[in-house]
Structure 1
Amino acid sequence: MINESDTGLLTTSLPEPYYEVNFFERRQNWTMDAHHHPYYQFIFMLEGILLLTINEEVYPLKRGQLCIIPPLHVHSLKSVTGYYQFGINLQPEKDRKGLVSLLEAYIHDFTVIEHNEALDHMPAIKQGCMELTKLSKIRTSNRIDEFIASAVEKAIHGTGLDFKNHLLTYLNKSLSRKITLSEVARELTISPSHLERLVNKEFGCGVIELFNHLRINKARSLLINSSYSIETISEHLGFYDTSHFSHFFKQKINMNPTQYRKLKNWTK
């Protein structure tokens, strides 16, 4: 889809499955209304910030982040700052390489990936898109194949150390208040459904259950290792009142906070 405000490079001459490959620069206050495509679309951020809205959630995308938008996923785009992208639109039908089939097997939801190492390959890909000789088409297509394959690999194994650290750091910082799945998904720039799958794969439970597990662990630590009152601990962990805290704690530990503190102090 070409907009009159697009400036940059567009090629439709690469081998399958590349329907369009582009390097577009969008001006300040650029927008594109809600729309969808019959194909997989990749937007890799090279400069600026893009606000992508999908499923009523806004994802701010910045340099080094790649988003993958599956077919028929309605989304809109906006940039206050302006931005520069490397974009790929694949053909809708399956290709002989198997890239479309690979995506259909593993990428079902809107996905955002930290793909900073791919920034180093952009000059060579752009140069290849400008030359378009028989040799450069093959080399450029191969480079983009690797770009996509490595992105899918990251999406499949998205529970790397950075992901886990980011998730656990954010949850631990939020123990004093209530959180939602959508909020955590926005923080990690990932769709809620994909986040739930990754967290279940890594921790064996959903995001909110993991958060509640961290709250209980913090409550247990404070009950054993501090002289804080039950009321103070309740407030510190964002509960409405001590009654709510006690009920929550007993559901998880099978005893109320007072009983737990007495038992642990007795067994020290």
Structure 2
Amino acid sequence: MQIFEYIDALNQPYDIFYSHSVDSPLHWHYYSEIIYMEKGSITVECNDEKLILNEGELCYFYPLQLHGITKAKDDDVTYAVIKFDIHTLNIPSAYLTKMFDYFLRRTKEEDLCLVLNREESSSKMLPQMINLIVEEYRNKNEFYMLNIQANIQNLLIFMARNLKKDIRVFQKKQTESDFSFFHILEYIDMHSGESLEIQELARMCHMSYSNFARLFRKKYGRSCKEYINYIRLNKAQYLLLNSEYDLNYIATETGFFDCSHFIRTYKKWKGITPKQERISHGLSAPGDTF
């Protein structure tokens, strides 16, 4: 299982559609994602935090944040999904820093996603703007990409004017080590089933161990070791609920030392053992004896 979701910024800078699904496993990507609830409610999970998104509300996921969607109620749901790379929007340089401060940079550890609820925006403009973007992408009329670009810019401006986000000015210029660091999450995702040494990850980013550890916690709100563990646990949970593999296989496949280590770590994370997790979902698998 790979949690990282890829979109080619050159060949496919946008992915836009309406969805009725309430089963989107945890994943992350380098681009931004907006969800707008047209009908019903869903549960949105982002980095271990959960919230209910109701009809008429919008959620913006920062790049690199682990997130997923599950059922909130038994109602039918319809929501718009707008995935885009903010670097392809051709934002004028005079506004680039401010837009990045709003939509790329988390300003505090608990700033996991941005939510625009109905109380903060009673305007009828929002559903109209969302529908215009989706229909433009669906119909693909002349200059549709240019129009989508302009409409997403308008949507971001609308969000910035209605969201209550504490903006801090970032003066630090991007360096080669920043670029390498930006891609280390993809490496962790692809190699989470293997032995990962923090010292080696720091070397790959052209950084000392101490600087790497400090910057990782600052950017992602947890230590690199905690993040690796978190990725492994989420992949293990997916296998628990979507396969009949026994616990020994899942532990080995997802990078834990052994089955006992996996069970202890999982119980600390969820409060129940992996076997109890399966039972709570009406599942069982051969060989589950713990």
Superposition TM-score, scaled by structure 2 size: 0.42
Structure with the bigger percentage of strand: 1
Structure 1 length normalisation: TM-score?
0.45
